[in-house]
Amino acid sequence: MALEKPYLDIPGTTIFDAEQSRKGYHLNQFCMSLMKAENRARFKADERAYLDEWPMTEDQKLAVLSRDLNRCIELGGNIYFLAKIGATDGKSFQQMAGSMTGMSEAAYRDMMIGGGRSIEGNRYIGEKKK
């Protein structure tokens, strides 16, 4: 019997469930290693060499190198783990979240100050904007 995953029809959203967690184990554990200052320094000194110490897929490594967070999430990354990369880069959580929306940093910040992204039109994939 298929598992119940009612969240697959939400637009622009990937739920980090047991399946994604399985795919992203090494990617997320790499991120976790950046909580130590000496690892952050080693990663910054040679990102590719540091990534090669981890049994991640090539796609996962490329997504990290290009800081493509949407791709990282698709490949099993979780935002709280990926945030460690942002911390290493000196980025705020808002800069990281904004980078996934296709908006400029300023436009995203202004949207948040204006009350955030509206729920209208954002509940279901393919939903018509009102």
Partner 1 sequence: MSARITASVYTSHVPAIGAAIDLGKTAEAYWAPLFKGYEPAKAWMKAHQPDVIFLVYNDHATAFSLDMIPTFAIGCAAEFKPADEGWGPRPVPVVKGHPELASHIAHSVIQDDFDLTIVNRMDVDHGLTVPLNLMCGSPDAWPCPVIPFAVNVVQYPVPSGRRCYQLGKAIRKAVESYDEPLNVHIWGTGGMSHQLQGPRAGLINKEFDNAFLDQLIADPEALSRKPHIDYVREAGSEGIELVMWLIARGAMADTPPRVVHRFYHVPASNTAVGNLILENTQ
Q: Which residues bind partner 1 (CB under 8 A)?
A: 6-7, 10-18, 21, 24-25, 28-29, 31-32, 34-37, 40, 69-70, 73, 78-81, 83-84, 86-88, 92-94, 96-98, 100-102, 108, 111-113, 115-119, 122-124
Look up tokens 């945030």; give the residue: 83
Q: Which amino acid is at 104?
A: S
By beta-carbon proximity to partner 1, the closer residue of 75 and 98 is 98
Nearest approach, Cβ of residue 27 and partner 1 (Å): 9
By beta-carbon proximity to partner 1, the closer residue of 61 and 73 is 73
By beta-carbon proximity to partner 1, the closer residue of 24 and 63 is 24
Nearest approach, Cβ of residue 92 and partner 1 (Å): 7
Q: How many CB atoms lie within 10 A of CB 94?
A: 13
By beta-carbon proximity to partner 1, the closer residue of 62 and 87 is 87
Q: Which amino acid is at 41?
A: A
Rounded-to-integer distance, Cα 72 and Cα 74, Å: 5
φ/ψ of residue 99, rounded to 5: -65, -15
Nearest approach, Cβ of residue 21 and partner 1 (Å): 5
Residues 111/98, Cβ–Cβ less than 8 Å: no
Token pair in block for residue 79: 């935002």
Token pair in block for residue 36: 């130590």
